[in-house]
């Protein structure tokens, strides 16, 4: 087939008309009544290192395994899409088996028999290129496949800051999900110093994913992890929290509330101009010029008075944010308030 004919066929297969009768893709994953995953799309969990992202996707997998509800996740895979392929790129065989056991226990199934509809592959020892080839082959050769878990996405790339590699990898995800009518849920770490997913790979993931879920350790009680929507094409679901019980299984905190969560976590991008101005006005009322170390301490103090509690690292990030937005200005080694800032 010549190239021009091939391109023409691709154009024809890509054409969308107002008269086409297209159905909404089958919903296979929900948080309560909010859609987070459909066949033909992909989604992701993101968070800092050790925020218990693997526990969260274990719950998703357990719900899919029994096609029911586990914690807050509900799975409704069609009868011919009940198979699950779980890819782990980070853990040893021993710890992968612990993950399998956790999934089975969360499903209330017996650990004496491996579930027929769960295929779990440990790919830590392979190169990124070979991992991709293995995943593609497994997808092609797994009958009745509906859900693929990839923990984690970063290990499928040599350079997460390569735009071309990021585009190629996410394009593969889109091809796999559309061609085989599956849903892929993957995992990618956030940057250490901010809430953004890592590198160009994270940017491309955010641009193309159906849903992005953030998992974070609570800033006050480190035994608690919170789960909240970052990007959802449907309406946003209510944030929730879980902790690890004595059996090393996640369990829901029923008394968790959104208001409590907001008092414990802090995203300076979501703070209104009025709140920023109020905190900074109080901070600089007594001290027209402050040093770096004093500024970091006072940011914690005056923002906490408005209900935003955070630690030293977050205060340093906030300082950089305020400086970039020209809300505060550097004066030699010190800082002053720019009362005429435009947010």
Residue 214 CA from chain centroid, whole number: 4
**Dist. CA 43–CA 111, nearest whole Å:** 28
Domains with residue ranges and CATH for the chain: 22-264 (3.40.50.300), 268-337 (1.10.10)
The torsion of the CA quartet 198, 203, 206, 208, rounded to 10 degrees, works out to -130
Q: Which helix (H) or strand (E) holds 69?
A: strand 69-70
35: its two tokens: 């859609």
Q: Is 166 helix (H, G, I), strand (E, B) or coil?
A: helix
Write out the DSSP string of 116-143.
Answer: TTEEEEE-TTS-HHHHHHHHHHHHHH-T
Per-residue pLDDT of the chain (343 residues; tens, 9 = 90+): 456 668 988 898 899 999 998 888 999 999 999 999 999 999 999 998 889 999 999 999 999 999 999 999 999 999 999 999 999 999 999 999 999 999 999 999 999 999 999 999 999 999 999 999 999 999 999 999 999 999 999 999 999 999 999 999 999 999 999 999 999 999 998 877 666 788 899 989 999 999 999 999 876 677 789 999 988 887 889 999 999 988 999 999 887 654 444 444 566 667 888 889 999 999 999 788 999 999 999 998 998 888 888 888 888 888 888 987 889 999 988 999 998 887 6
Q: Please tell me the predicted confidence (pLDDT) of residue 77.
A: 98
The torsion of the CA quartet 127, 132, 135, 137, rounded to 10 degrees, works out to -110
**Dist. CA 150–CA 281, nearest whole Å:** 47
Ramachandran class of 94: left when φ > 0, alpha when ψ lies in -120 to 50, beta otherwise: alpha
**Dist. CA 263–CA 218, nearest whole Å:** 10
Q: Please tell me the predicted confidence (pLDDT) of residue 2.
A: 54
For helices 292-304 and 273-286, give the axis angle rounded to 10 degrees.
Answer: 130
Query: Which residues, in sequence order, are CB contacts of 18 under 8 Å at separation 6+?
Result: none
Burial 183-222 (b: 16+ CB within 10 A, else e): bbbbbbbbeeeebebbbbbbbbbbeebbbbbbbbbbbeee
**Dist. CA 146–CA 76, nearest whole Å:** 10
Sheet hosting strand 334-337, strand order edge to edge: 290-291, 334-337, 328-331
């Amino acid at each position: 087939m010549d190239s021009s004919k091939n391109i023409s066929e691709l154009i024809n297969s890509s054409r969308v008309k107002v008269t086409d009768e297209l159905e909404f893709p089958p919903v296979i994953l929900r948080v309560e009544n909010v859609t987070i995953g459909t066949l033909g799309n992909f989604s992701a969990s993101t968070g800092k290192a050790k925020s218990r992202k693997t526990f969260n996707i274990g719950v998703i997998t357990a719900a899919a395994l029994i096609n029911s509800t586990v914690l807050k996740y509900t799975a409704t895979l069609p009868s011919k899409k009940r198979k699950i392929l779980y890819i782990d790129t980070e853990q040893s065989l021993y710890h992968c088996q612990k993950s399998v056991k956790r999934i089975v226990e969360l499903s209330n199934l017996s650990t004496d028999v491996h579930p027929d509809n769960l295929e779990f592959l440990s790919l830590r020892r392979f190169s990124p290129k070979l991992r991709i080839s293995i995943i593609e082959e497994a997808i092609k050769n797994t009958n009745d496949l509906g859900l693929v878990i990839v923990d984690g996405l970063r290990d499928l790339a040599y350079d997460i800051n390569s735009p071309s590699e990021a585009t190629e990898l996410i394009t593969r995800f889109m091809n796999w999900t559309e061609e085989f009518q599956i849903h892929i849920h993957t995992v990618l770490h956030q940057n250490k110093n901010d809430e953004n997913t890592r590198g160009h790979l994270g940017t491309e993931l955010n641009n193309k994913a159906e849903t992005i879920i953030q998992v974070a350790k609570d800033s006050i009680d480190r035994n608690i992890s919170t789960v909240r929507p970052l990007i959802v094409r449907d309406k946003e679901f209510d944030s929730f929290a879980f902790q690890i019980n004595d059996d090393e299984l996640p369990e829901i905190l029923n008394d968790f509330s959104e208001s409590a969560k907001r008092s414990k976590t802090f995203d300076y991008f979501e703070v209104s101009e009025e709140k920023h101005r109020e905190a900074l006005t109080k901070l600089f009322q007594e001290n027209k010029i402050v040093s770096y170390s004093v500024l970091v301490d006072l940011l914690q103090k005056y923002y906490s008075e408005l209900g935003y509690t955070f630690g030293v690292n977050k205060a340093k990030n906030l300082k950089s944010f305020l400086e970039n937005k020209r809300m505060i200005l550097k004066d030699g080694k010190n800082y002053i308030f720019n009362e005429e800032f435009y947010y």
